[in-house]
């Protein structure tokens, strides 16, 4: 995402940037994140159906490195 923003800034007239400071940044090698199955979507919706509640301030969702979205209540 950063390179896209930098290219936009460099392409403006007059340019906001005259060089790309992110040119030397290498993208991390990560595994591709797969799509959720219908079963995984149903499981997530079931666990998070009520959404965050004021009685449960620790309710949260998170995305793991493998792309799994988890909901804790």
- pLDDT, one tens digit for every residue, the chain (73 residues): 787 888 888 888 888 888 888 888 887 777 777 888 999 888 888 887 765 554 455 556 666 666 666 666 5
**Omega before 14 within 30 of 0, i.e. cis:** yes
Helices and strands (H and E) in the chain: how many:
2, 2
**Omega before 10 within 30 of 0, i.e. cis:** no
Tell me how far apart the alpha carbons of residues 62 and 5 are, in angstroms, rounded to a whole number.
Answer: 26
What DSSP state is assigned to residue 53? B
| β-bridge mates for residue 56, sequence order | 53
């Amino acid at each position: 995402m950063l390179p896209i923003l930098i290219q936009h800034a460099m392409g403006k007239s007059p340019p906001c940037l005259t060089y790309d400071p992110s040119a030397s940044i290498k993208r991390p090698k990560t595994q591709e994140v797969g799509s959720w199955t219908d079963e995984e979507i149903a499981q997530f919706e079931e666990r998070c159906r009520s959404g965050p509640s004021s009685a449960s301030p620790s309710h949260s969702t998170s995305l793991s490195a493998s792309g799994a979205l988890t909901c804790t209540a």
